[in-house]
Amino acid sequence: MMQHAVKLKLNLFVTLWCCATAVSGQVVPSGMEGELEAKLWEAIGGKGNWQNARYFMFSCTGGKHSFAQGERRYLWDKQTGNCRFDGMTTDDETVTALFNIGTSKGTVYINNTKLENPRTTDDIVAEIKEEFDRDAQLLFLPTILEGSQASYKITGEKLIGSQRLTVINIENKRTSFETAVAGRLYVDSQTGRVLQWWPANGTVGFSVGDYKAIGSGLILPTRFSSNDTATSITYPIAAALVHIEGQKFSRP
């Protein structure tokens, strides 16, 4: 009778633990997945270097964007979420937006003149925040396993040319760059480098390459090519900076 009661309590504990795990949305990786995660971080210079880096400057060209044309330039403070965008609108006007990626609030300057209409400002900031989400998602793609809301699972392997890549289904509801990401990573299990990316919300996949040292011990990919050349994106500038003048986030 006592053994039966102990067994019932044990079963209840296991059931409650499984329910709690399901509610939290977190998936505990297996040993193989844990090893691959470690390789992913090692491939870009280490998780510690990523977490310690604060300021980033990057620019990008290409991709399908409705607001900006040509090269888009960003300064981003990963700690505070403050961001600066400089670019050219489709109406050939220069635009500078100073905003926070967490609150989506900020100010906008068109041809160096501050917009005074709050509604227009909010609309433009929202569009530029979407631009930032798309551009940051690719440049910082190898870091999307970070955070308590990331879940992932190895689903198999795929032979592409002479390379055998490990396929990972990944979902992160809140990355360090404040956007949700989901899709399939194709990873070289020997080097830990991401070589292909297929977003869950689209039909276009990317070949990932041109890994470059950007400072602070970090190495990130700077070219994302697809069969649809209109969606391909390159990052001419990508740098982790030790310091950025505070006025960069408050003045055009």
Per the rule left: phi > 0, alpha: psi between -120 and 50, beta: everything else, 151 is beta
* 1 inside domain: no
CA distance 87 to 109: 11
CA distance 89 to 86: 10
Cβ neighbours of residue 91 closer than 8 Å, sequence gap 6 or more: none
Q: Where are the beta strands (DSSP E) in the chain?
A: 55-62, 68-77, 82-89, 94-100, 106-110, 113-114, 150-160, 163-172, 181-188, 194-199, 206-215, 218-225, 233-241
Per-residue pLDDT at 30: 54
What's the domain count of the chain? Answer: 1
CA distance 180 to 99: 19
Which structure tokens are listed for 158? 């795929």
Per-residue pLDDT at 227: 86
- Do 187 and 194 form a contact (C-beta atoms < 8 A)? yes
Per-residue pLDDT at 8: 39
- Do 144 and 181 form a contact (C-beta atoms < 8 A)? yes
Domain that holds residue 208: 6-249
What's the half-sphere exposure (Cβ side, CA atoms, 13 Å) at 26? 12
Per-residue pLDDT at 5: 42
Per-residue pLDDT of the chain (252 residues; tens, 9 = 90+): 434 443 434 343 334 333 333 333 344 455 677 888 999 999 999 999 999 999 999 999 998 776 788 899 999 999 999 999 999 988 899 999 999 999 999 999 999 999 999 999 999 999 999 999 999 999 999 999 988 889 999 999 988 877 889 999 999 998 888 888 999 999 998 899 999 999 997 778 999 999 999 999 999 999 999 988 888 999 999 999 999 998 999 999
* 172 inside domain: yes
Distances (CA, A) of 195 to 68, 141, 163, 180, 249: 28, 11, 10, 21, 34
Per-residue pLDDT at 141: 95
Q: pTM for the full model?
A: 0.85
- Do 201 and 182 form a contact (C-beta atoms < 8 A)? yes
* 91 inside domain: yes
Which structure tokens are listed for 126? 């929202």
* 74 inside domain: yes
Residue 216, number of CB atoms within 10 A of its CB = 17
Give the largest Cα separation in the chain, rounded.
82
φ and ψ of 27, to 5 deg: -115, 125
CATH code of 239's domain = 2.50.20
